[in-house]
Structure 1
Amino acid sequence: MSIQHRYATPFLLAVLSLGLTGCVNKPAKPVEPPLTEEQKAQKAIEDKGRTVLGDGVSLYQNGYYSQAEAKFLSPDVWAASDATRVEALKYLAFTYCVSERKVQCRQAFERALQIKPSFTLDAAESTHPLWGPEFKAAKASFK
């Protein structure tokens, strides 16, 4: 057997197998049914609420606490899903705590827990010196 023939066969097999893998039928993506008018309306409400919440978070992160508070209390946010309202309440609590309104901070956490009893803060948030203790107090009073 020549050197060319000894290497040609494995090479051809490799090329053929690579070429054939492109011929394998891939599962088709499931086609989503079109949204009903009610679903479209609810999606629009949720999208608007998430946008306003995002604006509020941005304002909060940039230190504009009173403007952020107004966004978190916006009817657009409160018309959205529980998840959106809980996130707004979390940031509202943070806003209250940084502006030295501890009672409102704890109450915002309590309201979030009423909506979603499994609501928690992440590790960094739960150990924060301003709102960590208020969240723990709200969680303890909720049980």
Structure 2
Amino acid sequence: MPESIYPRFLCLSLLLTITGCASLTALKPTHKVEEAPAVRKVEKTEEPGAKKPELPVVKKAEEELSLGIHNYDEGNYKIAAGNFQNALDGGLASIGNQITAHKYLAFIYCVSRERLACRGEFKQVLKLNPKFDLTPAEAGHPLWGPVFREVKAEDRRKKRDRK
């Protein structure tokens, strides 16, 4: 009997048993149902009803960072900004990845003409790595290049004044 019909017969069988009816023969289909070709079954390694294990928080944060970079590259800046913020909030493990997320957020804010937010993200980058520098291509960008240079100069001045 095909598997798709079996649960119905099982329910009917149970119903008939409860109501006292002795047989299901009157309810069997009168037409022949063709069997589907045999398909190799893959054994399940999970128990039925078991929940899938949660991804570690760090893994989720890393995935958000990757999604953010992808969305940024596709020009989906608003979505990318959400991905980067989720990655940071989710606990990116490596400082390098944290820097990457802040740097991309700075780029997005600069392009969106949100200069203060852009500066704030660059400050976070320099807080994580005071020796950080943009690549030559990034530094030459007309929107965020000058902002980064300003933030970096301020950071150097503050360090010099503390000495």
The TM-score bracket by the shorter chain reads 0.5 to 0.7
**Number of aligned positions between the proteins:** 100
Number of the residue aligned with 2:123:
110
Deviations 1:76-126 (A, max 9, x none): 434113211110000000000111111111110011100111111100000
**Contact residue 49 and residue 84 of structure 1 kept, 8 A:** no
**Contact residue 50 and residue 77 of structure 1 kept, 8 A:** no
- Counterpart AA for 1:59: N
Q: If you compute each CA radius of gyration, which structure gives the higher value, 1 or 2?
A: 2
Q: Does residue 123 of structure 1 match 2:128?
A: no
Deviations 1:2-25 (A, max 9, x none): xxxxxxxxxxxxxxxxxxxxxxxx
- Counterpart AA for 2:88: V
Number of the residue aligned with 1:48:
60
Number of the residue aligned with 1:87:
100
Number of the residue aligned with 1:65:
77
CA RMSD in angstroms comes to: 1.7
Number of the residue aligned with 1:136:
149
Segments of structure 2 that go 5 or more residues without pairing to the other structure are 1-55, 157-163
Inter-partner Cα distance in structure 2 for 1:101 and 1:61: 20
Structure-to-structure mapping, 1:4-23, within 5 angstroms: none
Shift of 1:45: 4.1
Percent of aligned pairs with the same amino acid: 36
TM-score of the pair, normalised by structure 1? 0.65
**Structure in which a larger fraction of residues adopt helix:** 1
TM-score of the pair, normalised by structure 2? 0.57
Shift of 1:50: 2.1
